[in-house]
Structure 1
């Protein structure tokens, strides 16, 4: 005869059994970026997993506990990736093993993302290329005579992060990439200008890396292109934003900044900052950024005035909010909202290639209008304004022990001219700071 305690334990086990149902992999997606490949598995619930690599031949093994595969992995687009094929097999009855057969060695990274917004639980596998191609930029950073003005164009979102969604599944990431490509064409076609794209295809880039790409290219301006949504479908109008150190200038600006800053949570970067997330969230913009922010507001006004000719503007002035992607201490940065993709009429415009071209042209005209007035003295545009006369300006990196008067004597120019060319008040300079040395 079974004892009461044994009966109670049996009942508890029986009642808890339905909750031990394995999670399922409901779908899988893959994106190729310039330096890595990302695979995302959409899950019905959280899972535990492990990964390890094998060689001869190269393989990556992914073991997932208590999971069932409901989606076929045969349709993943493996072209131009280091993955030759994908194999799956059950393991230990309840577990699943996924084997990625590789054509080259990779540096793998995995992370589990908890349900966030309209995104389900996800398992993300990143395969970073072992051999990274290094491209020279601006002749290995050596200043040249009559250099181009460099415009960093940042198409928002991408890959795992689609951005805002409009009618007929119109995706922000597609719209802004199309506008960014049009802007790139215009910039590269104009003598004295060169475009740098932070994102050239449909893949995800962390916000911090977007800023770093612009700084590494020594960009003169960073322009982030977006097309956001709002809860009210009647909200409409394009906008131009600069960074705010103290808070948003309007409730709409605060709302949009919060949405854009959440992009790293969609892409998973917010979970792998290794203790830096708190520091990143509390970045203090020091005094060296005062000049940068002033330039950001000025170029933003020029771009907004130009955009008025082709679009209804949500505000007639540059708004400010705490956009993480704009927090660059030495590159003037603006964020352009080309319209509300949630508004039916504006979504229709943004889906139209002709309208996207007009929007890109308006942004470009605002940029060139700004740089015609404040072109760096060592650029082709500044040289052209001088009528093609005079020696192009040079650059000098401040070393320990340097003073403005000593630098001026060395280059046979006046201290006043150096101050004017670099917007310097007083005599304070920093080691590592790059000065524009005007023509003598």
Structure 2
């Protein structure tokens, strides 16, 4: 094995970012696909091939714009590869353009023109599921944006998302929980105007600067490299659950004493640990993870709600579903070498019997509303070891809105009207549970 060090001769300011050994390949690798996932948090560029790629990457800082250069040995530069690169739409905050060329015999050079200073993470993924070998570039900004921090900063002056909820009486009878509970119990149906957040904001009575907020994390499953289940008409789970999640977040934010924080608001991958970290940083009171089920038989149908189990799954189907959902990191692609140990550690079971009990009650309330708009797959809340619920330490439910593998339900999931019904049903269930048992407000 030899090691090559190549710098651009004309770039006096070139900084070699990393160097990996390059060995003669046993055979030429063929590019299967080139994909790009733009997002505010980071941009992911994935090169999928039928054999492992030998590569090195470095910055050309003297160039304008700043460039990230990737040299790949043993890759054939074909017209197909040129078209794959040309098809990539670099409409994101960090990458202005991508181009490819034959740098030298046996070496293909990929150049990314950057819009700003970045900190890329580069790693290889072995074949898993439907994917072959993947070379992944996660391009993070030099100065990361913090959407969770911005939301929390707008909610309260201090670090407590509940503001002065327990510090002052907010109702005439001296009960500090009075106002928020009263607001939850008067009408368990979200206002129709909530479908149009702009007009609702003007019509609703705004909360005061120190008004208490119940923080609900809305977690649309999958995203980016991880499509989730795929319907027979090609509908992707990640797409419909993101649409439902956005509608639910809009409805929640239309409530004067609630605030929604989404784990993702675009088509990009968020690891299970990353989802947990968002909820913990937000000091959330509830988490709702949204999914769309699938089964080998297209006749399977109906909505389901799941909570975490400390004693194993309540059914074989629940155990299978939890296993498939927990494989999201392997499908979406996580840089294992750089996983924050603190984040990884929160995926252990942090729940208490009270948390699970409240989750089951919350799930029952949501299930009761779901049956008004769709058949139920199971009449009771099921339980299994879902990692995204396990690491929260707060009441959390996973809602399987419908079977995307069922053609009729796949069609419903794509419908804006049905997405609204699903979002309303979830929020109505949350409000009914909070009105029946407000103890979560003290957590």
Partner-residue secondary structure (3-state), 1:67? coil
In structure 2, relative to structure 1, the CA distance for the partners of 1:189 and 1:246 (3 Å cut) is same
Matches within 5 A, 1:291-370: 291-370=354-433
Alpha-carbon separation, structure 2, partners of 1:178 and 1:254: 27
In structure 2, relative to structure 1, the CA distance for the partners of 1:193 and 1:278 (3 Å cut) is closer
In structure 2, relative to structure 1, the CA distance for the partners of 1:249 and 1:49 (3 Å cut) is same
Are residues 1:52 and 2:70 paired? Answer: no
Residue matched to 2:70:
62
The CA deviation at 1:79 is 2.0
The CA deviation at 1:375 is 2.9
Partner-residue secondary structure (3-state), 2:307? strand
Are residues 1:102 and 2:165 paired? Answer: no
Partner-residue secondary structure (3-state), 2:260? strand
Partner of residue 163 from structure 2, selected from 136, 139, 144: 144
Matches within 5 A, 1:20-419: 20-57=26-63, 58-69=66-77, 70-71=80-81, 72=83, 73-134=85-146, 135-136=149-150, 137=152, 138-139=155-156, 140-142=158-160, 143-145=162-164, 146-269=211-334, 271-272=336-337, 284-285=348-349, 289-375=352-438
In structure 2, relative to structure 1, the CA distance for the partners of 1:23 and 1:277 (3 Å cut) is farther
Residues 96-144 of structure 1: CA deviation (Å, up to 9, x unaligned): 1212121211111111222211122221111111112343313352452
Equivalent residues of 1:31, 1:39 under 8 A apart: yes
Alpha-carbon separation, structure 2, partners of 1:243 and 1:343: 26
Alpha-carbon separation, structure 1, partners of 2:276 and 2:342: 16
Alpha-carbon separation, structure 1, partners of 2:438 and 2:329: 34
Residues 170-201 of structure 1: CA deviation (Å, up to 9, x unaligned): 11011101111111121111221111111111
Equivalent residues of 2:220, 2:242 under 8 A apart: yes
Residues 263-321 of structure 1: CA deviation (Å, up to 9, x unaligned): 1011111744659599769x5535x6222222111111111111111111111111111
Equivalent residues of 1:270, 1:277 under 8 A apart: no
Equivalent residues of 1:265, 1:271 under 8 A apart: no
Partner-residue secondary structure (3-state), 1:167? coil
The CA deviation at 1:27 is 2.3
Alpha-carbon separation, structure 2, partners of 1:115 and 1:254: 24
Equivalent residues of 1:163, 1:172 under 8 A apart: yes
Equivalent residues of 2:225, 2:333 under 8 A apart: no
The CA deviation at 1:345 is 1.6
Alpha-carbon separation, structure 1, partners of 2:423 and 2:86: 39
The CA deviation at 1:338 is 0.5
Alpha-carbon separation, structure 1, partners of 2:263 and 2:340: 25
Residues 330-360 of structure 1: CA deviation (Å, up to 9, x unaligned): 3211100001111112112112221111111
In structure 2, relative to structure 1, the CA distance for the partners of 1:276 and 1:219 (3 Å cut) is closer
Partner-residue secondary structure (3-state), 2:434? helix
Equivalent residues of 1:292, 1:329 under 8 A apart: no
Deviates more, 1:222-231 or 1:68-77: 68-77
In structure 2, relative to structure 1, the CA distance for the partners of 1:184 and 1:329 (3 Å cut) is closer
What is the RMSD of the two structures over their aligned residues, measured on CA atoms?
A: 2.3
Equivalent residues of 2:292, 2:400 under 8 A apart: yes
TM-score (norm 2): 0.76
* Unpaired runs of at least 5, structure 1: 1-18, 380-420, 423-440
Higher Cα radius of gyration? 1
The CA deviation at 1:33 is 2.1
Residue matched to 2:193:
none
Partner-residue secondary structure (3-state), 2:306? strand
Alpha-carbon separation, structure 1, partners of 2:267 and 2:93: 14
